[in-house]
Structure 1
Amino acid sequence: MAVSLSRNRDYGLLWSSQALSGAGFSATVIAFPLLVLAITHSPAVSGLVLGVIAAAQLVAGLPAGALADRWDRKKIMLYCEAGQAVAVTSLVAALWWDAVTVPHLVAVGAVLGASKALFGPAEAACLPRLVATEQLATALAMNSARANLGQLAGTAVGGFLYAAGRAVPFVADAISHAAAFVALSFVRLPPSPPRIGPPSHLGREIAAGLRWTWRHPHVRITMWCAVTLNLFFSAYFVVIIVLLQQAGVPSGQLGVMAAMLGVGGIAGALIAPRLHRLLSPYLSIMVVFWALTALTPVALLIHNGYLMGVLFAAIALLPPTASTTINTYQLLLTPDELRGRLSGVMAVAAGVSGAVGPVLGGALMQLVPGGRAVLVCTGGIALITLLFTLSATLRSFPRPDAPQPDTPSPDGEPVAVETPDTAAESG
């Protein structure tokens, strides 16, 4: 019998280390633009430096997935935490010696973004071998709660730490990454299956991961679910912010509204494992889409930031269930030697949709007057909801305990997909 997740020492170390590291990272992301503004007095440079983090994550995303399938995954995670600790410590030293430059800030941002891009696929790929298959959904849901909790804590604390001193949030971040490095060093990861043959060219390995994602219909449809949902909700969020600002809602209320997204996300992550067990994959995904279709136009009736926060908390409550379902089945349907590349593809797709969504929302507010932009976003969500509802591929989505046929590898050879029984035997 598998050890319960709460008593799984190695998963606990991984989870707690990343909760701490994530909070430190979020504090730095908040303090970064404040520091650049104080040094350069240029909002444009501040946006550029902050944008480097996101850009580095996108650029490194696909290579990171391939490297997670090629290199030792624990070492990747350790190197990422060490790299972030060194980069942020160098910034603290530069602040101490009053020698901070924009190129230095850009370099630190690039290291942080690239490290995040590398760490994600390595962690996701090793998770099915760190926890029992029947506990994978719960582990993924707890990771989602961890991300929301770290972002909430880091965002809330970052501003206060910066007020205490320019270097303080970066000192806290460096300590968090160092502590995460120590905790990760004690994590015992089961070895991955031996790789067959020498590694090929990195570009060919990236292409193989893209082909796998595209050729597998159930992986492909869930990727489109995640991408389109992220795209339209990112646009919707910007539209709501602009509408409330135009209505004269105080910035404090806007901050509470944004924080309620995190609160709803944490609550949703806590109930996601139970809903995942109760609902079929199709229902667990479609309930989210239909709930968003119903809830998004309610914003037209609300003109108060606090009440909008309640609506946002309700909107954020169910997506963790869909995310848990999507991530669980994608990992179970994907061979171990391709899991890093799958995670890399998903991260890049989510990053692109998350970047395009706010641009789309801003353009809508320029082109469409007032609340009509909300209706356009709602219409977009309703359209993709209808398309996915009618999708035969999504309706035939297999449960993890259903026998899976051998699936073609990117090179054309059949690859046996792990089921709970085979995963338990290999673990």
Structure 2
Amino acid sequence: MGARRAIFATKNMRATSARELPLQPGSSRPRDFRLYWVAGGINLLGSQASGLVLPLVALAVSGSPAAAGLVGGLGLTGRLVAAPAAGVLADRLPRKGMMVTALLVAAGAMAVVAGTLAVDAATLGILAGAAFVEGVAQAGYESAGAGAIRRVLPPDDQRALARLEARNHAMQIAGPLLGGALFQLARWAPFLADVVSYLVAATCVAAIRTDLSPQRTDHNSFLADLRTGLRFVWEHPFLRFVTIWAAGINFVFGALIYHTILVAGRRGDLPVSIGLILTIASVGGLAGALSAPRVLRHLRPAVAIPIASWATVGLVAALCVARQPWSYGLLFGLVFLLTPMVAIVFQSRAITITPDHLQGRVATVIGTTGEALRVFAPVLAGALVARYRPDAVALIFAALLAVLAAYATVNVRNLRTGTALVRED
């Protein structure tokens, strides 16, 4: 009964967005957002650097590609297993302390990998255990960080969220390059860099002055809190819509990228060509994130979201005539140029309508649903590549995206109703 009353109350609360919270004289929010931004960027840089070479190290240690793949998948497994508990804890515990603790645990896991590699004592068990522990720690950091973001967002929240998107795309470009360069120096070097990145990120989070603790008003059991978060997402039309949309996009894009890699491999393209495709895609995402606030100042979300969604369908369908790596890269770059704008609008609205004491659980539900579905993306890509020609597969993916585009377009029509999905400023 307590959980049901809590849901009813939060549905009738007026959520206040970051842009509606006035900055008081001497407010530390801009400074704290910069620290939050740097912490996440440094963390992602180190994780991308070590994540690139972890399967290579596992392969060298075990000599088994299957074992190397297992180690690579354990990080994601740790995140998915820990995510439900992490989401609840992020709405119970002091979020800053939870973020720092998670970063230090992850640093310890990577320190074990770096140390055992340095003395040539690494085993498959050590690598697998460290990957799993790091995944669990990352789940804790991400849930607490998602719960805290509303407290540090500047008044112009869409611009701030665009900076976060741009940071993520930039680190996805720089991280693998750093990891590859360090791996050439020594097998343990990327993992030591990851340790340093975790420690720097923990220092940045610890320096945040804003109180990030959740505004907890009830004291239900752990399972009741978990059910409350799930029920709030499912019963809120917009959050349910975003969860389904994000899961679908993650799944289709994940399968599309694996499809491209597999097709390029079957054609005999060099690995550098595949890397070029993914790099161009990341550059497109970076440009899209940087330009999104300017576009949204001149184009209402009710117009921008359908345009971007249907343009993405056309670009993916155009892959059926792409033959060279540069053409694949160009189309991928244009696709990822459009998607940050939609993601920023949805994320801004989700943060706005979610009460503070549910931020961690809601963000975890949305994110984990997408990640869990994405696990099956390589399976779909492999099955389609084995059975159909590349042009037919491209059209299949375009059809799936058309379903998502239609879903988004229909839901965005509710903008002018009392249950508006996206606020028009």
- TM-score between both structures, scaled by the size of structure 2: 0.89
Partner residue of 2:353 out of 333, 345, 349: 333
Partner residue of 1:26 out of 34, 48, 58: 48
User: Match for 1:106: what amino acid?
Assistant: A
- 2-side partners of 1:176 and 1:75: how far apart? 18
Question: Number of matched residues?
Answer: 400
Partner of 1:419 in structure 2? Answer: none
CA contact (8 A) 2:346 2:422 kept: no
Structural mapping, 1:157-236, within 5 Å? 157-192=178-213, 194-198=215-219, 200-236=220-256
1:50/1:394 CA distance change after superposition, 3 Å = farther
SS of residue matched to 2:303: helix
1:293 aligns with 2:324: no
SS of residue matched to 2:390: coil
1:97/1:246 CA distance change after superposition, 3 Å = closer
Deviates more, 1:281-290 or 1:43-52: 281-290
1:254-310 deviations in whole A, cap 9, x for unaligned? 110011111111111111222334333333332221011111121122211122211
RMSD across aligned positions (CA): 2.2
1:233-258 deviations in whole A, cap 9, x for unaligned? 22222222323333333321111001
CA contact (8 A) 2:281 2:336 kept: yes
1:88 aligns with 2:88: no
Partner residue of 1:76 out of 80, 93, 98: 98
Partner residue of 1:121 out of 118, 122, 143: 143
CA contact (8 A) 2:95 2:144 kept: yes
- 2-side partners of 1:263 and 1:104: how far apart? 35
- 2-side partners of 1:128 and 1:341: how far apart? 14
Q: Percent identity of the aligned residues?
A: 30
- 2-side partners of 1:7 and 1:343: how far apart? 21
Structural mapping, 1:4-19, within 5 Å? 8-19=30-41
SS of residue matched to 2:216: coil
- 2-side partners of 1:255 and 1:265: how far apart? 15
Structural mapping, 1:146-165, within 5 Å? 146-165=167-186
Stretches of 4+ aligned residues off by more than 6 angstroms: 3-7
1:279/1:66 CA distance change after superposition, 3 Å = farther
User: Match for 1:264: what amino acid?
Assistant: G
Structural mapping, 1:343-354, within 5 Å? 343-354=363-374
1:96/1:355 CA distance change after superposition, 3 Å = same
Structural mapping, 1:362-401, within 5 Å? 362-391=382-411, 394-396=414-416, 397-400=420-423
- 1-side partners of 2:121 and 2:268: how far apart? 41
- 1-side partners of 2:291 and 2:140: how far apart? 29
Structural mapping, 1:253-264, within 5 Å? 253-264=273-284
Q: CA deviation at 1:58?
A: 1.1
SS of residue matched to 1:8: helix
- TM-score between both structures, scaled by the size of structure 1: 0.88
Q: CA deviation at 1:348?
A: 0.7
1:259/1:364 CA distance change after superposition, 3 Å = same
Partner of 2:12 in structure 1? Answer: none
- Structure 1 portions without partners, runs of 5+: 403-427
User: Match for 1:315: what amino acid?
Assistant: V
Partner of 1:145 in structure 2? Answer: 166
